[in-house]
Chains A and B, each alone.
Chain A
Protein backbone atom coordinates (compact mmCIF):
# COMPACT_ATOMS: atom_id res chain seq x y z
CA UNK A 1 0.00 0.00 0.00
CA UNK A 2 1.42 3.39 -0.87
CA UNK A 3 1.65 6.33 1.49
CA UNK A 4 -0.98 8.27 -0.49
CA UNK A 5 -3.57 5.54 -0.05
CA UNK A 6 -2.89 5.41 3.70
CA UNK A 7 -3.55 9.12 4.00
CA UNK A 8 -6.78 8.81 2.07
CA UNK A 9 -7.99 6.17 4.48
CA UNK A 10 -7.16 8.34 7.48
CA UNK A 11 -9.16 11.22 6.06
CA UNK A 12 -12.18 8.99 5.61
CA UNK A 13 -11.98 7.62 9.12
CA UNK A 14 -14.14 10.20 10.98
CA UNK A 15 -17.05 9.65 8.60
CA UNK A 16 -17.32 6.00 9.54
CA UNK A 17 -20.21 5.05 11.81
CA UNK A 18 -19.67 3.86 15.36
CA UNK A 19 -20.80 0.30 14.61
CA UNK A 20 -18.41 0.16 11.67
CA UNK A 21 -15.52 1.30 13.87
CA UNK A 22 -16.41 -1.21 16.60
CA UNK A 23 -16.55 -3.89 13.92
CA UNK A 24 -13.05 -2.99 12.76
CA UNK A 25 -11.70 -2.91 16.32
CA UNK A 26 -13.01 -6.39 17.10
CA UNK A 27 -10.68 -9.38 16.88
CA UNK A 28 -10.76 -10.90 13.38
CA UNK A 29 -12.44 -14.08 14.62
CA UNK A 30 -15.38 -12.12 15.97
CA UNK A 31 -15.77 -10.29 12.69
CA UNK A 32 -17.21 -13.39 11.07
CA UNK A 33 -21.00 -13.55 11.49
CA UNK A 34 -20.69 -16.89 13.30
CA UNK A 35 -18.17 -15.54 15.79
CA UNK A 36 -20.31 -12.50 16.45
CA UNK A 37 -23.47 -14.54 17.03
CA UNK A 38 -21.53 -16.87 19.33
CA UNK A 39 -20.20 -13.93 21.32
CA UNK A 40 -23.70 -12.50 21.70
CA UNK A 41 -25.17 -15.86 22.78
CA UNK A 42 -22.37 -16.43 25.29
CA UNK A 43 -22.77 -12.89 26.64
CA UNK A 44 -26.52 -13.46 27.00
CA UNK A 45 -25.92 -16.66 28.98
CA UNK A 46 -23.40 -14.94 31.23
CA UNK A 47 -25.96 -12.19 31.95
CA UNK A 48 -28.55 -14.86 32.73
CA UNK A 49 -26.05 -16.44 35.15
CA UNK A 50 -26.01 -13.17 37.04
CA UNK A 51 -29.68 -12.20 36.96
CA UNK A 52 -31.39 -15.52 36.05
CA UNK A 53 -33.30 -16.06 39.31
CA UNK A 54 -34.45 -12.42 39.28
CA UNK A 55 -36.03 -12.50 35.83
CA UNK A 56 -37.49 -16.00 36.28
CA UNK A 57 -41.32 -15.81 36.21
CA UNK A 58 -41.67 -18.45 38.96
CA UNK A 59 -39.73 -19.92 41.85
CA UNK A 60 -37.70 -22.71 40.15
CA UNK A 61 -38.40 -25.05 43.08
CA UNK A 62 -42.08 -24.23 43.67
CA UNK A 63 -44.55 -26.94 42.60
CA UNK A 64 -47.41 -24.54 41.94
CA UNK A 65 -48.45 -25.10 38.32
CA UNK A 66 -50.38 -27.97 36.67
CA UNK A 67 -48.10 -30.95 35.93
CA UNK A 68 -46.91 -31.59 32.34
CA UNK A 69 -48.33 -28.36 30.92
CA UNK A 70 -47.09 -28.06 27.31
CA UNK A 71 -45.40 -24.81 26.30
CA UNK A 72 -48.03 -22.12 26.06
CA UNK A 73 -49.85 -19.45 28.00
CA UNK A 74 -49.57 -20.92 31.50
CA UNK A 75 -45.85 -21.62 31.23
CA UNK A 76 -43.78 -20.35 28.30
CA UNK A 77 -41.66 -23.53 28.07
CA UNK A 78 -44.11 -25.81 29.85
CA UNK A 79 -43.92 -27.48 33.27
CA UNK A 80 -42.31 -30.70 34.50
CA UNK A 81 -43.64 -33.77 36.31
CA UNK A 82 -43.87 -31.86 39.61
CA UNK A 83 -45.54 -28.77 38.17
CA UNK A 84 -42.41 -26.59 38.22
CA UNK A 85 -41.92 -23.92 35.57
CA UNK A 86 -39.32 -25.14 33.01
CA UNK A 87 -38.25 -21.64 31.92
CA UNK A 88 -37.53 -20.62 35.51
CA UNK A 89 -35.58 -23.81 36.11
CA UNK A 90 -33.47 -23.28 32.98
CA UNK A 91 -32.77 -19.67 33.93
CA UNK A 92 -31.81 -20.65 37.46
CA UNK A 93 -29.82 -23.64 36.19
CA UNK A 94 -27.58 -21.43 34.06
CA UNK A 95 -25.82 -20.29 37.20
CA UNK A 96 -25.20 -23.87 38.29
CA UNK A 97 -24.08 -25.31 34.97
CA UNK A 98 -22.14 -22.39 33.50
CA UNK A 99 -20.76 -21.24 36.84
CA UNK A 100 -19.46 -24.68 37.71
CA UNK A 101 -18.07 -25.15 34.19
CA UNK A 102 -16.12 -21.90 34.51
CA UNK A 103 -14.89 -22.93 37.94
CA UNK A 104 -13.85 -26.31 36.59
CA UNK A 105 -12.00 -24.79 33.64
CA UNK A 106 -10.21 -22.25 35.84
CA UNK A 107 -9.08 -24.94 38.27
CA UNK A 108 -7.93 -27.26 35.46
CA UNK A 109 -6.05 -24.38 33.87
CA UNK A 110 -4.37 -23.57 37.18
CA UNK A 111 -3.32 -27.14 37.97
CA UNK A 112 -2.34 -27.96 34.38
CA UNK A 113 -0.36 -24.74 33.92
CA UNK A 114 1.62 -25.14 37.13
CA UNK A 115 2.52 -28.74 36.31
CA UNK A 116 3.27 -27.90 32.66
CA UNK A 117 5.48 -24.94 33.64
CA UNK A 118 7.45 -27.04 36.12
CA UNK A 119 7.84 -29.95 33.69
CA UNK A 120 8.83 -27.77 30.74
CA UNK A 121 11.15 -25.44 32.62
CA UNK A 122 13.06 -27.86 34.81
CA UNK A 123 13.06 -30.83 32.42
CA UNK A 124 14.92 -34.02 33.36
CA UNK A 125 13.38 -36.04 36.18
CA UNK A 126 10.80 -33.35 37.03
CA UNK A 127 9.52 -33.49 33.47
CA UNK A 128 9.60 -37.30 33.38
CA UNK A 129 7.70 -37.64 36.65
CA UNK A 130 5.01 -35.10 35.84
CA UNK A 131 4.46 -36.16 32.25
CA UNK A 132 4.32 -39.90 32.97
CA UNK A 133 1.68 -39.16 35.61
CA UNK A 134 -0.17 -37.04 33.04
CA UNK A 135 -0.01 -39.90 30.54
CA UNK A 136 -1.35 -42.22 33.21
CA UNK A 137 -4.43 -40.04 33.71
CA UNK A 138 -4.87 -39.58 29.96
CA UNK A 139 -4.73 -43.33 29.44
CA UNK A 140 -8.12 -43.73 31.15
CA UNK A 141 -11.31 -42.95 29.23
CA UNK A 142 -12.28 -39.48 30.45
CA UNK A 143 -15.94 -40.02 31.25
CA UNK A 144 -15.39 -43.43 32.85
CA UNK A 145 -12.66 -42.10 35.14
CA UNK A 146 -14.80 -39.10 36.09
CA UNK A 147 -17.77 -41.42 36.77
CA UNK A 148 -15.72 -43.74 38.93
CA UNK A 149 -14.25 -40.83 40.89
CA UNK A 150 -17.64 -39.18 41.35
CA UNK A 151 -19.19 -42.46 42.43
CA UNK A 152 -16.37 -43.04 44.90
CA UNK A 153 -16.67 -39.54 46.34
CA UNK A 154 -20.46 -39.66 46.55
CA UNK A 155 -23.03 -37.81 44.49
CA UNK A 156 -22.94 -34.06 44.94
CA UNK A 157 -22.25 -31.08 42.69
CA UNK A 158 -18.98 -30.32 44.48
CA UNK A 159 -17.78 -33.89 44.06
CA UNK A 160 -18.77 -33.82 40.39
CA UNK A 161 -16.50 -30.81 39.88
CA UNK A 162 -13.68 -32.60 41.71
CA UNK A 163 -14.20 -35.71 39.62
CA UNK A 164 -14.24 -33.68 36.40
CA UNK A 165 -11.10 -31.89 37.55
CA UNK A 166 -9.26 -35.19 37.87
CA UNK A 167 -9.69 -35.82 34.16
CA UNK A 168 -9.60 -32.30 32.71
CA UNK A 169 -6.20 -30.88 33.75
CA UNK A 170 -3.87 -33.10 31.63
CA UNK A 171 -4.45 -31.31 28.30
CA UNK A 172 -3.39 -28.02 29.93
CA UNK A 173 -0.24 -29.58 31.36
CA UNK A 174 0.69 -30.96 27.95
CA UNK A 175 0.01 -27.76 26.04
CA UNK A 176 1.79 -25.52 28.57
CA UNK A 177 4.76 -27.87 28.72
CA UNK A 178 5.18 -27.87 24.96
CA UNK A 179 4.98 -24.06 24.82
CA UNK A 180 7.54 -23.77 27.63
CA UNK A 181 9.90 -26.17 25.84
CA UNK A 182 9.74 -23.90 22.80
CA UNK A 183 10.17 -20.73 24.85
CA UNK A 184 13.03 -22.09 26.95
CA UNK A 185 15.37 -22.02 23.95
CA UNK A 186 14.53 -18.40 23.14
CA UNK A 187 17.29 -15.84 23.37
CA UNK A 188 15.31 -13.54 25.65
CA UNK A 189 14.99 -16.31 28.22
CA UNK A 190 18.77 -16.88 28.07
CA UNK A 191 19.47 -13.19 28.35
CA UNK A 192 17.17 -13.01 31.38
CA UNK A 193 19.13 -15.81 33.00
CA UNK A 194 22.37 -13.99 32.13
CA UNK A 195 20.97 -10.91 33.89
CA UNK A 196 20.71 -13.00 37.03
CA UNK A 197 17.03 -14.02 36.97
CA UNK A 198 16.20 -16.83 39.38
CA UNK A 199 14.19 -19.74 38.00
CA UNK A 200 11.05 -18.32 39.62
CA UNK A 201 11.60 -14.87 38.11
CA UNK A 202 12.37 -16.34 34.71
CA UNK A 203 9.13 -18.33 34.80
CA UNK A 204 7.07 -15.39 36.05
CA UNK A 205 8.48 -12.74 33.74
CA UNK A 206 9.68 -14.49 30.60
CA UNK A 207 7.76 -17.76 30.39
CA UNK A 208 4.29 -17.48 31.96
CA UNK A 209 3.05 -14.38 30.08
CA UNK A 210 3.95 -16.05 26.80
CA UNK A 211 1.95 -19.19 27.63
CA UNK A 212 -1.25 -17.35 28.61
CA UNK A 213 -2.61 -16.72 25.11
CA UNK A 214 -2.68 -20.33 23.89
CA UNK A 215 -3.84 -21.52 27.31
CA UNK A 216 -6.80 -19.13 27.28
CA UNK A 217 -7.77 -20.39 23.84
CA UNK A 218 -7.70 -23.95 25.10
CA UNK A 219 -9.74 -22.90 28.13
CA UNK A 220 -12.45 -21.21 26.10
CA UNK A 221 -12.70 -24.27 23.87
CA UNK A 222 -12.85 -26.37 27.01
CA UNK A 223 -15.77 -24.57 28.66
CA UNK A 224 -18.17 -26.39 26.36
CA UNK A 225 -16.59 -29.76 27.12
CA UNK A 226 -16.69 -28.98 30.84
CA UNK A 227 -20.38 -28.11 30.65
CA UNK A 228 -21.04 -31.40 28.82
CA UNK A 229 -19.03 -33.42 31.32
CA UNK A 230 -20.76 -31.87 34.33
CA UNK A 231 -24.16 -32.26 32.70
CA UNK A 232 -23.24 -35.83 31.84
CA UNK A 233 -22.33 -36.62 35.43
CA UNK A 234 -25.58 -35.04 36.61
CA UNK A 235 -27.48 -36.95 33.94
CA UNK A 236 -26.05 -40.16 35.39
CA UNK A 237 -27.12 -39.09 38.87
CA UNK A 238 -23.57 -38.40 40.03
CA UNK A 239 -23.85 -34.63 40.17
CA UNK A 240 -26.64 -32.29 41.15
CA UNK A 241 -29.25 -33.83 43.42
CA UNK A 242 -32.95 -32.97 43.18
CA UNK A 243 -34.37 -30.41 43.44
CA UNK A 244 -31.30 -28.40 42.25
CA UNK A 245 -32.12 -27.04 38.77
CA UNK A 246 -29.18 -28.39 36.77
CA UNK A 247 -29.52 -28.85 33.00
CA UNK A 248 -27.98 -32.32 32.83
CA UNK A 249 -30.21 -33.68 35.57
CA UNK A 250 -33.23 -32.02 33.93
CA UNK A 251 -32.50 -33.90 30.70
CA UNK A 252 -32.02 -37.02 32.77
CA UNK A 253 -35.42 -36.62 34.41
CA UNK A 254 -37.01 -36.08 30.99
CA UNK A 255 -35.93 -39.52 29.79
CA UNK A 256 -38.67 -41.23 31.80
CA UNK A 257 -41.34 -39.00 30.19
CA UNK A 258 -40.34 -39.34 26.58
CA UNK A 259 -43.69 -38.21 25.14
CA UNK A 260 -43.41 -34.82 26.93
CA UNK A 261 -40.85 -33.54 24.42
CA UNK A 262 -40.37 -30.11 25.99
CA UNK A 263 -38.88 -31.56 29.19
CA UNK A 264 -35.72 -32.71 27.40
CA UNK A 265 -35.55 -30.42 24.39
CA UNK A 266 -35.26 -27.06 26.17
CA UNK A 267 -32.53 -27.92 28.72
CA UNK A 268 -30.78 -29.76 25.89
CA UNK A 269 -30.94 -26.65 23.71
CA UNK A 270 -29.49 -24.62 26.59
CA UNK A 271 -26.52 -27.00 26.85
CA UNK A 272 -26.11 -26.99 23.07
CA UNK A 273 -26.04 -23.20 22.74
CA UNK A 274 -23.56 -22.79 25.61
CA UNK A 275 -21.19 -25.44 24.28
CA UNK A 276 -21.34 -24.15 20.71
CA UNK A 277 -20.99 -20.47 21.53
CA UNK A 278 -17.93 -21.01 23.71
CA UNK A 279 -16.41 -23.22 21.02
CA UNK A 280 -16.80 -20.50 18.43
CA UNK A 281 -15.35 -17.94 20.82
CA UNK A 282 -12.39 -20.24 21.36
CA UNK A 283 -11.84 -20.42 17.62
CA UNK A 284 -12.11 -16.65 17.34
CA UNK A 285 -9.64 -16.14 20.21
CA UNK A 286 -7.22 -18.55 18.60
CA UNK A 287 -7.34 -16.60 15.37
CA UNK A 288 -6.94 -13.30 17.20
CA UNK A 289 -4.01 -14.41 19.35
CA UNK A 290 -2.16 -16.30 16.63
CA UNK A 291 0.73 -13.99 15.81
CA UNK A 292 0.84 -15.43 12.30
CA UNK A 293 -2.53 -13.90 11.48
CA UNK A 294 -2.35 -10.24 10.53
CA UNK A 295 -5.27 -7.95 11.30
CA UNK A 296 -6.90 -6.74 8.15
Chain B
Protein backbone atom coordinates (compact mmCIF):
# COMPACT_ATOMS: atom_id res chain seq x y z
CA UNK B 1 0.00 0.00 0.00
CA UNK B 2 3.02 2.26 0.08
CA UNK B 3 2.36 3.46 -3.45
CA UNK B 4 -0.73 5.43 -2.39
CA UNK B 5 -0.92 8.50 -0.20
CA UNK B 6 -2.58 7.83 3.15
CA UNK B 7 -5.87 9.60 3.93
CA UNK B 8 -4.86 10.07 7.51
CA UNK B 9 -1.61 9.31 9.25
CA UNK B 10 -0.41 9.42 12.84
CA UNK B 11 3.23 10.36 13.21
CA UNK B 12 5.03 9.55 16.49
CA UNK B 13 2.07 10.50 18.66
CA UNK B 14 2.72 11.01 22.36
CA UNK B 15 -0.12 11.91 24.71
CA UNK B 16 0.23 12.72 28.39
CA UNK B 17 -2.69 13.42 30.70
CA UNK B 18 -1.93 15.69 33.68
CA UNK B 19 -1.96 14.04 37.09
CA UNK B 20 0.30 12.89 39.90
CA UNK B 21 2.20 11.27 38.31
CA UNK B 22 1.18 12.27 34.76
CA UNK B 23 -0.40 9.47 32.74
CA UNK B 24 1.55 8.61 29.62
CA UNK B 25 -1.41 7.32 27.60
CA UNK B 26 0.20 7.09 24.17
CA UNK B 27 3.94 6.48 23.68
CA UNK B 28 5.11 6.99 20.13
CA UNK B 29 2.35 5.65 17.90
CA UNK B 30 2.59 5.89 14.12
CA UNK B 31 0.32 4.41 11.46
CA UNK B 32 -1.23 5.26 8.11
CA UNK B 33 -4.78 4.60 6.93
CA UNK B 34 -5.63 4.27 3.26
CA UNK B 35 -8.82 4.88 1.34
CA UNK B 36 -11.28 2.00 1.27
CA UNK B 37 -9.85 -0.08 4.09
CA UNK B 38 -11.20 -1.16 7.45
CA UNK B 39 -8.59 -1.14 10.17
CA UNK B 40 -9.18 -2.61 13.61
CA UNK B 41 -7.40 -1.04 16.56
CA UNK B 42 -7.55 -3.53 19.41
CA UNK B 43 -6.22 -3.66 22.93
CA UNK B 44 -7.36 -3.82 26.54
CA UNK B 45 -9.06 -1.01 28.47
CA UNK B 46 -6.73 1.86 29.25
CA UNK B 47 -4.16 1.02 26.58
CA UNK B 48 -4.72 4.36 24.85
CA UNK B 49 -7.14 3.34 22.07
CA UNK B 50 -9.75 6.03 22.80
CA UNK B 51 -7.02 8.62 23.22
CA UNK B 52 -5.81 7.81 19.71
CA UNK B 53 -9.35 8.36 18.42
CA UNK B 54 -9.58 11.72 20.18
CA UNK B 55 -6.20 12.84 18.86
CA UNK B 56 -7.13 11.86 15.29
CA UNK B 57 -10.27 14.02 15.47
CA UNK B 58 -8.48 16.88 17.20
CA UNK B 59 -10.41 16.55 20.48
CA UNK B 60 -7.16 15.92 22.35
CA UNK B 61 -3.89 17.75 21.74
CA UNK B 62 -0.89 15.43 21.47
CA UNK B 63 2.16 16.20 23.61
CA UNK B 64 4.38 15.34 20.65
CA UNK B 65 3.97 14.15 17.09
CA UNK B 66 1.11 15.07 14.81
CA UNK B 67 -1.80 13.81 12.78
CA UNK B 68 -1.73 14.42 9.05
CA UNK B 69 -5.00 14.45 7.14
CA UNK B 70 -4.48 14.54 3.37
CA UNK B 71 -0.95 15.64 4.09
CA UNK B 72 -1.92 18.60 6.27
CA UNK B 73 -1.65 18.67 10.06
CA UNK B 74 -4.90 18.31 12.04
CA UNK B 75 -5.40 21.34 14.25
CA UNK B 76 -6.54 20.51 17.80
CA UNK B 77 -10.10 21.69 18.43
CA UNK B 78 -10.27 24.85 20.51
CA UNK B 79 -13.18 27.08 21.41
CA UNK B 80 -13.82 28.08 17.82
CA UNK B 81 -15.49 26.24 14.97
CA UNK B 82 -13.69 23.19 13.55
CA UNK B 83 -11.96 23.99 10.25
CA UNK B 84 -14.24 22.86 7.44
CA UNK B 85 -11.40 20.96 5.75
CA UNK B 86 -11.06 18.74 8.81
CA UNK B 87 -14.74 17.85 9.11
CA UNK B 88 -14.06 14.91 6.80
CA UNK B 89 -12.94 13.09 9.95
CA UNK B 90 -15.98 11.90 11.88
CA UNK B 91 -16.45 9.66 14.86
CA UNK B 92 -19.03 7.37 16.46
CA UNK B 93 -18.70 7.34 20.21
CA UNK B 94 -18.75 4.56 22.75
CA UNK B 95 -21.71 5.28 25.02
CA UNK B 96 -25.11 4.86 23.34
CA UNK B 97 -26.60 6.75 26.32
CA UNK B 98 -24.84 9.98 25.48
CA UNK B 99 -23.97 9.77 21.80
CA UNK B 100 -27.22 11.58 20.85
CA UNK B 101 -28.75 14.77 22.25
CA UNK B 102 -31.74 13.61 24.35
CA UNK B 103 -33.73 16.81 23.64
CA UNK B 104 -33.70 16.73 19.83
CA UNK B 105 -35.52 14.44 17.41
CA UNK B 106 -33.07 12.06 15.75
CA UNK B 107 -33.96 13.37 12.28
CA UNK B 108 -32.72 16.85 13.18
CA UNK B 109 -29.48 15.36 14.45
CA UNK B 110 -28.89 13.45 11.23
CA UNK B 111 -29.70 16.65 9.34
CA UNK B 112 -26.65 18.26 11.03
CA UNK B 113 -24.48 15.75 9.19
CA UNK B 114 -26.28 16.38 5.89
CA UNK B 115 -25.92 20.15 6.33
CA UNK B 116 -22.20 19.76 6.87
CA UNK B 117 -21.82 17.61 3.74
CA UNK B 118 -23.78 20.19 1.71
CA UNK B 119 -21.65 22.99 3.08
CA UNK B 120 -18.41 21.20 2.24
CA UNK B 121 -19.73 20.39 -1.21
CA UNK B 122 -20.61 24.05 -1.84
CA UNK B 123 -17.13 25.06 -0.78
CA UNK B 124 -15.47 22.57 -3.11
CA UNK B 125 -17.96 23.15 -5.91
CA UNK B 126 -19.34 19.62 -6.22
CA UNK B 127 -22.74 18.18 -5.57
CA UNK B 128 -23.28 16.32 -2.30
CA UNK B 129 -24.99 12.97 -2.13
CA UNK B 130 -23.77 12.18 -5.66
CA UNK B 131 -21.68 9.24 -4.58
CA UNK B 132 -22.96 5.66 -4.77
CA UNK B 133 -24.17 5.92 -1.19
CA UNK B 134 -25.95 2.89 0.15
CA UNK B 135 -25.00 0.73 -2.82
CA UNK B 136 -22.81 -2.32 -2.32
CA UNK B 137 -19.13 -1.50 -2.77
CA UNK B 138 -17.70 -2.17 -6.20
CA UNK B 139 -14.87 -4.28 -4.90
CA UNK B 140 -16.28 -7.22 -2.97
CA UNK B 141 -12.82 -7.96 -1.60
CA UNK B 142 -13.18 -4.80 0.46
CA UNK B 143 -15.88 -6.29 2.63
CA UNK B 144 -15.20 -9.27 4.78
CA UNK B 145 -18.19 -11.50 4.90
CA UNK B 146 -19.81 -12.27 8.20
CA UNK B 147 -20.70 -15.92 8.45
CA UNK B 148 -24.44 -16.32 8.15
CA UNK B 149 -24.91 -12.58 7.87
CA UNK B 150 -26.42 -11.55 4.53
CA UNK B 151 -25.14 -8.23 3.27
CA UNK B 152 -28.40 -6.31 3.74
CA UNK B 153 -29.60 -7.99 6.92
CA UNK B 154 -29.76 -4.75 8.83
CA UNK B 155 -31.36 -2.71 6.07
CA UNK B 156 -35.11 -2.26 6.10
CA UNK B 157 -36.79 -4.27 3.33
CA UNK B 158 -39.09 -1.31 2.68
CA UNK B 159 -36.14 0.95 1.81
CA UNK B 160 -38.03 3.40 -0.34
CA UNK B 161 -36.21 4.90 -3.28
CA UNK B 162 -38.71 7.75 -3.24
CA UNK B 163 -36.93 9.65 -0.52
CA UNK B 164 -34.08 11.88 -1.66
CA UNK B 165 -30.66 10.34 -1.00
CA UNK B 166 -29.71 13.15 1.32
CA UNK B 167 -32.64 13.06 3.73
CA UNK B 168 -32.66 11.98 7.37
CA UNK B 169 -35.39 9.45 6.60
CA UNK B 170 -33.32 7.84 3.89
CA UNK B 171 -30.37 7.61 6.25
CA UNK B 172 -32.50 5.97 8.91
CA UNK B 173 -33.54 3.37 6.37
CA UNK B 174 -29.93 2.81 5.41
CA UNK B 175 -29.13 1.89 9.01
CA UNK B 176 -32.14 -0.37 9.27
CA UNK B 177 -34.67 1.93 10.91
CA UNK B 178 -37.74 3.55 9.42
CA UNK B 179 -38.05 6.99 7.88
CA UNK B 180 -40.97 7.75 10.20
CA UNK B 181 -38.61 7.37 13.16
CA UNK B 182 -36.99 10.72 12.43
CA UNK B 183 -39.42 12.68 14.58
CA UNK B 184 -38.80 10.44 17.59
CA UNK B 185 -36.39 11.23 20.41
CA UNK B 186 -33.33 9.16 21.34
CA UNK B 187 -34.97 7.84 24.52
CA UNK B 188 -37.37 5.71 22.44
CA UNK B 189 -34.54 3.76 20.80
CA UNK B 190 -32.46 0.90 22.14
CA UNK B 191 -28.70 1.12 22.57
CA UNK B 192 -28.02 -0.65 19.29
CA UNK B 193 -30.49 1.56 17.43
CA UNK B 194 -28.92 4.68 18.91
CA UNK B 195 -25.47 3.58 17.75
CA UNK B 196 -26.90 3.05 14.28
CA UNK B 197 -28.42 6.54 14.35
CA UNK B 198 -25.08 7.96 15.52
CA UNK B 199 -23.44 6.12 12.62
CA UNK B 200 -25.99 7.62 10.23
CA UNK B 201 -25.31 11.07 11.63
CA UNK B 202 -21.55 10.72 11.20
CA UNK B 203 -21.80 9.19 7.73
CA UNK B 204 -24.38 11.72 6.51
CA UNK B 205 -21.54 14.23 6.76
CA UNK B 206 -19.82 12.22 3.99
CA UNK B 207 -16.53 11.79 5.84
CA UNK B 208 -13.57 10.04 4.29
CA UNK B 209 -12.37 8.95 7.71
CA UNK B 210 -14.82 7.34 10.11
CA UNK B 211 -13.59 6.41 13.56
CA UNK B 212 -15.63 4.05 15.69
CA UNK B 213 -14.48 4.40 19.29
CA UNK B 214 -15.71 1.16 20.85
CA UNK B 215 -19.12 1.76 19.23
CA UNK B 216 -20.29 -1.74 20.04
CA UNK B 217 -18.86 -2.40 23.48
CA UNK B 218 -22.05 -1.36 25.26
CA UNK B 219 -24.26 -3.55 23.06
CA UNK B 220 -25.29 -7.14 23.56
CA UNK B 221 -23.50 -9.87 21.64
CA UNK B 222 -26.13 -10.39 18.96
CA UNK B 223 -26.28 -6.67 18.12
CA UNK B 224 -22.52 -6.16 18.14
CA UNK B 225 -21.75 -7.95 14.90
CA UNK B 226 -24.75 -6.34 13.18
CA UNK B 227 -23.71 -2.78 14.05
CA UNK B 228 -20.04 -3.46 13.28
CA UNK B 229 -20.93 -4.94 9.93
CA UNK B 230 -23.30 -2.10 9.10
CA UNK B 231 -20.65 0.50 9.92
CA UNK B 232 -18.04 -1.12 7.73
CA UNK B 233 -20.44 -1.65 4.84
CA UNK B 234 -21.72 1.92 4.82
CA UNK B 235 -18.29 3.46 5.37
CA UNK B 236 -16.79 1.47 2.51
CA UNK B 237 -19.68 2.29 0.20
CA UNK B 238 -18.80 5.94 0.67
CA UNK B 239 -15.15 5.29 -0.01
CA UNK B 240 -14.21 6.20 3.54
CA UNK B 241 -11.60 4.53 5.68
CA UNK B 242 -12.98 3.01 8.86
CA UNK B 243 -10.84 2.85 11.98
CA UNK B 244 -12.73 0.48 14.23
CA UNK B 245 -11.59 0.55 17.84
CA UNK B 246 -12.51 -2.32 20.12
CA UNK B 247 -11.23 -4.55 22.86
CA UNK B 248 -13.06 -7.47 21.29
CA UNK B 249 -10.93 -9.15 18.67
CA UNK B 250 -13.59 -11.69 17.82
CA UNK B 251 -15.90 -9.03 16.34
CA UNK B 252 -13.19 -6.83 14.85
CA UNK B 253 -11.82 -9.82 13.00
CA UNK B 254 -15.09 -10.09 11.08
CA UNK B 255 -14.83 -6.66 9.48
CA UNK B 256 -11.20 -5.54 9.54
CA UNK B 257 -8.75 -5.90 6.68
CA UNK B 258 -5.86 -4.94 8.89
CA UNK B 259 -5.25 -5.01 12.64
CA UNK B 260 -3.26 -2.75 14.92
CA UNK B 261 -2.74 -4.29 18.35
CA UNK B 262 -2.12 -1.75 21.05
CA UNK B 263 -0.71 -2.33 24.50
CA UNK B 264 0.39 0.15 27.16
CA UNK B 265 0.37 3.08 24.76
CA UNK B 266 2.32 1.36 21.97
CA UNK B 267 1.38 -0.54 18.85
CA UNK B 268 2.90 -3.95 19.47
CA UNK B 269 1.72 -5.81 16.39
CA UNK B 270 0.25 -4.87 13.05
CA UNK B 271 -0.60 -6.60 9.82
CA UNK B 272 -3.38 -8.22 7.79
CA UNK B 273 -6.14 -9.60 10.01
CA UNK B 274 -5.63 -13.23 9.07
CA UNK B 275 -1.89 -13.07 9.63
CA UNK B 276 -2.28 -11.57 13.09
CA UNK B 277 -5.14 -13.92 13.96
CA UNK B 278 -3.51 -17.12 12.88
CA UNK B 279 0.09 -16.31 13.64
CA UNK B 280 0.36 -13.82 16.51
CA UNK B 281 3.97 -12.80 17.08
CA UNK B 282 3.99 -10.53 20.12
CA UNK B 283 3.49 -12.01 23.62
CA UNK B 284 0.64 -9.57 24.30
CA UNK B 285 -1.24 -10.46 21.11
CA UNK B 286 -1.09 -14.11 22.14
CA UNK B 287 -2.65 -13.20 25.48
CA UNK B 288 -5.32 -11.11 23.77
CA UNK B 289 -6.22 -13.97 21.44
CA UNK B 290 -6.17 -16.41 24.35
CA UNK B 291 -8.66 -14.21 26.21
CA UNK B 292 -11.41 -14.84 23.65
CA UNK B 293 -13.80 -17.32 25.26
CA UNK B 294 -14.41 -20.47 23.23
CA UNK B 295 -17.86 -22.12 23.39
CA UNK B 296 -16.36 -25.56 23.92
CA UNK B 297 -17.50 -26.05 27.47
CA UNK B 298 -13.95 -26.30 28.77
CA UNK B 299 -14.39 -23.11 30.78
CA UNK B 300 -10.75 -22.02 30.52
CA UNK B 301 -9.65 -18.80 32.13
CA UNK B 302 -7.80 -16.30 29.97
CA UNK B 303 -4.02 -16.67 29.95
CA UNK B 304 -2.02 -14.81 32.58
CA UNK B 305 -0.96 -11.27 31.61
CA UNK B 306 2.32 -11.05 29.77
CA UNK B 307 5.41 -10.64 31.92
CA UNK B 308 7.36 -7.42 32.20
CA UNK B 309 9.78 -8.82 29.65
CA UNK B 310 7.04 -8.40 27.03
CA UNK B 311 7.49 -4.64 27.32
CA UNK B 312 10.90 -5.00 25.74
CA UNK B 313 9.70 -7.30 22.97
CA UNK B 314 9.97 -5.47 19.62
CA UNK B 315 6.75 -4.68 17.73
CA UNK B 316 5.78 -7.37 15.25
CA UNK B 317 4.90 -6.19 11.76
CA UNK B 318 3.32 -8.69 9.36
CA UNK B 319 3.89 -8.04 5.69
CA UNK B 320 0.67 -7.20 3.82
Contacts and interface: CB of A to CB of B under 8 A. Distances in A.
A188 B112 CA distance: 12
A190 interface: yes
A188 B202 CA distance: 11
Contacts of B109: 188
B165 to A, nearest CB: 19
A289 to B, nearest CB: 12
Nearest to A210: B103
Contact of A198 (B80, B119, B198): B80
B145 interface: no
Instruction: Determine chain A's interface SS by DSSP, over half rule.
Output: helix
A206 B103 CA distance: 8
Interface in B116-153: 116, 119
Contact of B81 (A186, A187, A199, A205): A199
Contacts of A196: 81-82, 84, 87, 116, 119
Nearest to A213: B103
Contacts of B116: 195-196
A197 B99 contact: no
Interface stretch (B32-40, B89-97, B295-303): B89-97
A23 interface: no
A191 interface: yes
B172 to A, nearest CB: 17
B113 interface: yes
Nearest to B57: A194
A210 B104 CA distance: 10
A199 B80 contact: yes
Nearest to B119: A196
B80 A195 contact: no
Interface residues of B, number: 31
Contacts of A190: 59, 91, 93
Interface string A248-274: 000000000000000000000000000
Contacts of B77: 193
Contacts of A72: none
A186 B104 CA distance: 15
A196 B81 CA distance: 6
B13 interface: no
B201 interface: yes
Contacts of B205: 195
B101 interface: yes
Nearest to B54: A190
Interface in B178-207: 198, 201-202, 205
Given A122-B79, A196-B82, A197-B81, A191 B103 contact: no
A182 to B, nearest CB: 10
A33 interface: no
B232 to A, nearest CB: 19
B100 interface: yes
Interface string B20-62: 0000000000000000000000000000000000000101000
A193 B82 contact: yes
A209 interface: yes
A191 B198 contact: yes
A192 interface: yes
Given A191-B202, A192-B112, A210 B79 contact: no
A187 B95 contact: yes
B270 to A, nearest CB: 26
Nearest 9 CB-CB pairings of A with B: A187-B93, A209-B103, A198-B81, A188-B101, A186-B98, A187-B99, A187-B98, A196-B87, A195-B112
22 contacts: A187-B95, A188-B100, A188-B101, A190-B91, A191-B93, A191-B201, A192-B101, A193-B59, A193-B77, A193-B82, A194-B57, A194-B87, A194-B89, A195-B87, A195-B112, A196-B82, A196-B116, A196-B119, A197-B81, A198-B80, A209-B101, A209-B104
Given A186-B98, A188-B100, A199-B80, 13 more contacts: A187-B99, A188-B99, A191-B91, A191-B99, A191-B201, A194-B57, A194-B59, A195-B112, A195-B201, A196-B116, A198-B80, A205-B104, A209-B103
Interface of A: 122, 186-188, 190-199, 205-206, 209-210
